[in-house]
Each structure stands twice: as C-alpha cells, then as structure tokens.
Amino acid sequence: MTPEQLRDRLRELGIARDLRTLTDWRQKGLLPPLERASLGRGRGVQRYWSEDVLDQAIAVDCLVKRYGTADETLFGLWLVGYPVDHAVAQQAWIESVKRMQHRRRQAASRYRGGFPGLGRSWWKRLKSHVAFALPWWQELPSSDRERISEFLGDTQEWLRDEENRDDDAYRYAIADLIIGLAKIDRKSFYRWIDDVWADIDPASLFAITPYLELVQSMSLEELDAAQESLASVTNMIRRAVELFGSADCVNAVVIPLLLMKDFLGTMIARILIKTNRAIPEMPLEETIALVHDVVMRVQLPDITKKSDGGVVFAERMHIEWEATKKKLSQVWEERRERWRSRIENQRASLNGRRDPDSG
C-alpha cells in the first residue's frame, strides 16, 4: 500500500488525512517506515507499506483526535500491540501518568463526593461509549452485564479514592466477577486470590506515586512480555466486536483501542509485571494465550442469537472451552504447588538462619 493508496483508503472510510500528515506521522514513529522496491532498471523505486498499515493509521487518527499528543498516541499504539519501541512507550507512559495525576486532582475537586463522585461520573460516561451500544454488550445475558457494570463502577471508585478504599471488598469483587463469567470453582479461586493478594499489593497499582515508580522500574524485557499479552487481549476484544457488533473496519479497530487505552491496557500490563515479580509461578500469560486461542477460533456460524438477547454457542465451542478450562485448571494447580514449595523453602531457609544451632 503506497502513501497515496493509504490516503485514498482512509478517505473512503471517512478519515480525511493528506500525504503531508501521513509523512508527519511516519517521521514521529506513529506509522512504520516505508519499504522500498525497485520498479526495474532505470525506472526508480516504489515506496510502500504492508496492507495492515491501514489499521494502524485508523488507530493513529483516533488517538491523535482524542489525546492530541504524540506520546499519548505512541503509548496507545503500544498498548494494543503495534510495533513501538519499548523504551519510547515507557517514557510516554511515564508522562501519561504525570498528566493523569494532575487531571485527577483537578477533576476530583469539582465533585461534591470527591474521588468516589469522580468514579461514578466516569462510569456513567463510559456506559454511553459506542462500545456499550453495540450488540456485543446488549446481547450478553443481563446477569453478566450487571456483573461487569458493578465491577467497573466499583473499580473506578476504588482506584481513585486512595484514602477510603476497601481492599477486601474489591478483592472479592474481582473473584466474584471471574467466577461468575468463567463458571469456575469458587472455593479454589478464592483460595488463590487470598494467597496472592498480599504479595501483589493491588493498591499500589493505582495509587499514583507507587504507580509511577512501578512504570519507571519496568525493564524492556518486562515490557516486551507484557505487550504480547496486551496484543492478545486486544485481538479478543476485536474478535468479539466482529462477531457481535459492527462489521465496520473502523469500529473494529477503534473500539478495542479505546477500551485498552482508557481502562484495560494499563491495568493488565501493571498486573502482569507486578505479579510476575512477586509470584513468577502464576501462569497469567499462559492463561491469556489459551483463552485467546479459543476466542479466535469462534466463527459466526458457531453463534445463535436467542430471543431474550443472549447467545448460544455451537457444541464444538462448548467442547473446546471445557477442554481449555481443564487445561487451565491443571496449569494453575501445578503452578500453585510450585509457588507453595518455593515459599516453604524460603521459610525453612529463613528459620535455619535464625536458629543459633545451625551455625
């Protein structure tokens, strides 16, 4: 796809960007470098991108319009898996957190309820987002919509109100959401989340100062591993939009992009990196990869819409999902035993050093 072809394709989609703008985006790293191909002896060269540059250009247009800065745009591209240098993305993330701190304090001061009022207002605005008007959301069972709505609302209040947050209540809100949506064993999952909560310390993921320190401390290897999982989550959201929502190629790019940039992406990345540091045995990346593989195998004929707005999946998808859950259960239990063994060895080593008879 040449720059002229990209410009024309964007115009067909209602995005008016001229060649000068596309060149500016490329020079700032928002679009990949052009490749070169010879047209034959004495005929010069052609400069072009691969065809998937169209999706990235749609994403850049959305982010530039929404945030207006190159670093926020680069960070948004990185969050959904586009090839952005990890060091550049990290610096953009740091600047984004600093701006967030300033905006959050200003915004909270305008609400009578302070941070909780800000959280409720955020969720009210989010529910008006185009993503929540599409069939993927409307056709979820009402019980699942209610679970997700309550959890997102609770999350916004919890992460903004650093003085009055209730960690225990939020921990069980996470557990109840996953148990309800995935239909997994309640007792086993509660045991897992109780085991790891203290080590992960989720409060530090959202309090601004620890959040900033965490981003500044991330290694390029950690960012690389996190981006792979972020791309998988983005692909799953996009697949859901394609199956349950709009076939429009702009929506297919923009809806996952905004959900990841405005809420999911940074939270997932922080949880992945912080958890891998505290509990390297926890198979978060493997879990995302396995679920991703199942979601990406779903085809439109596998879905039947019910009269009450819900959906029924074909038997083959039920079989695949049950097999995946069984594999996940085995992986998690195996990793849990490794984690317990490591903790017991550490405790035994510590007790040995404390024993004066041990030498």
What residues form DSSP beta bridges with 152? none
- The contacts found for 140-143 with CB under 8 angstroms, 24 or more apart, are 140/309, 140/310, 141/309, 141/310, 142/309, 143/180
- Chain-centroid distance of CA 320 in Å reads 24
Give the whole-angstrom CA distance, residue 324 versus residue 317: 10
CB 170 within 8 A of CB 154: yes
Q: How confident is the model at residue 356 (pLDDT cuts 50, 70, 90)?
A: low
Residues 6+ apart with CB under 8 A from 62: 253, 254, 257, 258
Residues 6+ apart with CB under 8 A from 350: none
Residue closest to 298 by CA, chosen among 243, 354, 221, 353: 243
Q: What does the block give as tokens for 99? A: 């701006």
- The contacts found for 200-206 with CB under 8 angstroms, 24 or more apart, are 200/271, 200/274, 200/275, 200/278, 200/279, 201/274, 201/278, 202/167, 202/170, 202/171, 202/271, 203/162, 203/165, 203/167, 204/274, 205/159, 205/267, 205/270, 205/271, 205/274, 206/158, 206/159, 206/160, 206/162
Give the whole-angstrom CA distance, residue 7 versus residue 22: 8
CB 1 within 8 A of CB 31: no
CB 116 within 8 A of CB 158: no
Mean pLDDT of 329-350: 85
Lowest-confidence pick of 6-15, 265-274, 300-309: 300-309
In this structure, what DSSP letter does residue 70 have?
Answer: H
3-state SS class at 205: helix
- Chain-centroid distance of CA 6 in Å reads 28
Q: Quick check: 291 pLDDT over 90?
A: yes
Give the whole-angstrom CA distance, residue 120 versus residue 140: 22
In this structure, what DSSP letter does residue 261 have?
Answer: I
H runs (alpha helix) in the chain: 3-12, 19-27, 53-67, 70-79, 86-108, 114-127, 135-138, 142-160, 167-182, 186-200, 203-206, 208-217, 220-244, 249-259, 265-278, 284-296, 315-354
Q: Where are the domains of the chain?
A: 1-51, 52-358
Q: Quick check: 11 pLDDT over 90?
A: yes
Segment 96-115, tens digit of pLDDT: 888 877 666 666 566 555 55
Q: How confident is the model at residue 359 (pLDDT cuts 50, 70, 90)?
A: very low
Residue 281 has a CB neighbour count (10 Å cut-off) of 18
Segment 30-53, tens digit of pLDDT: 999 998 877 666 667 788 898 899
Identity at 331, one-letter amino acid code? V
Residue closest to 72 by CA, chosen among 100, 95, 106: 95
CB 160 within 8 A of CB 104: yes
Segment 67-98, tens digit of pLDDT: 888 999 999 999 999 999 999 999 999 998 88
Segment 144-201, tens digit of pLDDT: 777 777 777 666 666 655 666 677 777 777 777 777 776 777 777 777 777 677 666 6
Mean pLDDT of 130-140: 63
Residue closest to 252 by CA, chosen among 131, 72, 74: 131
CB 66 within 8 A of CB 130: no
